[in-house]
Amino acid sequence: MSAARFRQAAQESVSGLPRAFWWLWTSTLVNRLGAFVATFMTLYLTSDRGYSASFAGLVVALHGLGGVMSSLVAGVLTDRLGRRPTLLAAQASTAFSVALLGFMEHPAAIAAAALLVGMTSNASRPAVAAMMADIVRPEDRVRAFALNYWAINLGFGVSAAVAGLIAEYSYLAGFLGEAVLTLACAVLVFVKLPESRPEGGPTGAGKGTGAEPAIGLGTVLRDGRFMGVVGLSFLISLIFTQGSVGLPVAMGAAGFSPGDYGLVVAVNGFLIVLLQIPVTAFIEHRDPQKLLVISALLAGYGFALTAFAGPLWAYALTVCVWTLAEIVNSPTQMGLVVRLSPVHGRGRYQGVYNLSWAVASLIAPLMAGFVIDRYGADRLWAATGVLGTVAAAGYWLLMRRLPEGEAGVTVAAGSPRTDRAEVAGEPQVDAKPAAAPATGVA
């Protein structure tokens, strides 16, 4: 892509989005600048506290269990109470629980605090995704969600590099820094973001108006097509989670420092910052089936290549491969999720979707700790290749069954379509249409 084309793509990506989106985007950026616990929990427990990989995997799994416990509840609260109060409560409680974790000494207390952090931090995700879908027009979602993902990884890239250096001197400072920035996000949401929940539709099981059916968790779980997406997301999540649980343990065992791991994993964030906009411009007109299949293979085999890494640059090279998979998979898959979610059930649908990541966060650390302790890291990386292959086959089969127009991509602005959100009466936001057809992203 030429420099002129890159500038044009960047300009098209940031133009015409509502002001509320940019405040939500800013909140995301600030939040990710403080990311520490999820990235350095494993190293904190193994390198600083001297616990085994299995115990570290157990604690990180409890963090994931907390996310499992809160995902569905947060999704329901997002629809019932609203996006803003759910987001405020989640971020304020996350700030408290992260600070608490930094002061815990006893193994049982560390485990309990990690569970609490997982519950509170994961509770904000359905609200953020639902609010973003509310305030951005369907044809603009590719740009909005890609930009949000860009902010996540800009913050992650900076925080991973800086926090890696901080961790070499004081892990407590990292915990407290994340708590302060998360609390700042809560203040920003309180001051700048209005409630975005659509009015006039069903808000829970047993409540329906006119032709709009009631939407409860049972509705989501009976949606076979959507649950297929959730299942495939779980497989992909198992792979990507190894970047924060399997990779640091493997690098630590190979003699690398926390700072080395921080620099390597920061490559992931910085590449997304550099490539997300041009890659999004390239893929928005492409076949989503092919994009999801290719990204699953790149993810699986990108991590599998870690088995052959020796010097630090080789680890960084493997990160480049699976980062490209992440750049392609996230917008394409999340566009499909938003497309399949009824407007008045977005919180519940997002809650169930986020459950796939939460369950993966529970299982992946246990899997990584067990496999590394029992068989060695090479077996873990081989397993990621298998998971990527299975996920690619699943995407290929699922997307074959989707009718034209339900893939959530390549729909020209203003063209006739049967988007569930539009059928449900989604309110339109005064924002300039995208300059080109776009895929939806979350």
What integer pLDDT is reported at residue 301 of this predicted model? 96
Specify whether the CB–CB gap between 174 and 167 falls below 8 A: yes
User: What's the half-sphere exposure (Cβ side, CA atoms, 13 Å) at 21?
Assistant: 26
Closest CA to 238 of 152, 319, 303, 333: 303
Distance (Å) of CA 193 to CA 93, 130, 176, 184, 233: 18, 13, 25, 13, 29
Average pLDDT over residues 253-276: 84
pLDDT at 405 over 70: no
Q: DSSP E strands: which ranges in 308-395?
A: none
Q: How confident is the model at residue 391 (pLDDT cuts 50, 70, 90)?
A: very high
Average pLDDT over residues 207-231: 74
pLDDT at 318 over 90: yes
Closest CA to 66 of 122, 109, 27: 122
Q: How confident is the model at residue 393 (pLDDT cuts 50, 70, 90)?
A: very high
What integer pLDDT is reported at residue 410 of this predicted model? 37
Instruction: Express each pLDDT in 238-252 by its tens digit.
Output: 999 899 888 988 888
Average pLDDT over residues 311-332: 91
**Helix (H, G, I), strand (E, B), or coil: what is residue 222?**
coil
Backbone angles phi, psi at 70, to 5 degrees: -95, -20
Average pLDDT over residues 277-295: 82
More confident residue, 294 or 284: 294
What integer pLDDT is reported at residue 72 of this predicted model? 81
Query: What six digits make up the tokens of 104?
Result: 């815990």
Specify whether the CB–CB gap between 139 and 435 falls below 8 A: no
Please, which residues have CB within 8 angstroms of residue 102's CB and are 6 or more apart in sequence? 171, 172, 174, 175, 176, 179
Q: How confident is the model at residue 296 (pLDDT cuts 50, 70, 90)?
A: very high
pLDDT at 373 over 70: yes
What integer pLDDT is reported at residue 6 of this predicted model? 59
Q: To which residue do tokens 């027009």 refer?
A: 137
pLDDT at 83 over 50: yes
What integer pLDDT is reported at residue 352 of this predicted model? 87
What integer pLDDT is reported at residue 200 of this predicted model? 58
Backbone angles phi, psi at 195, to 5 degrees: -65, 140
pLDDT at 132 over 60: yes
**Helix (H, G, I), strand (E, B), or coil: what is residue 438?**
strand
Specify whether the CB–CB gap between 145 and 442 falls below 8 A: yes
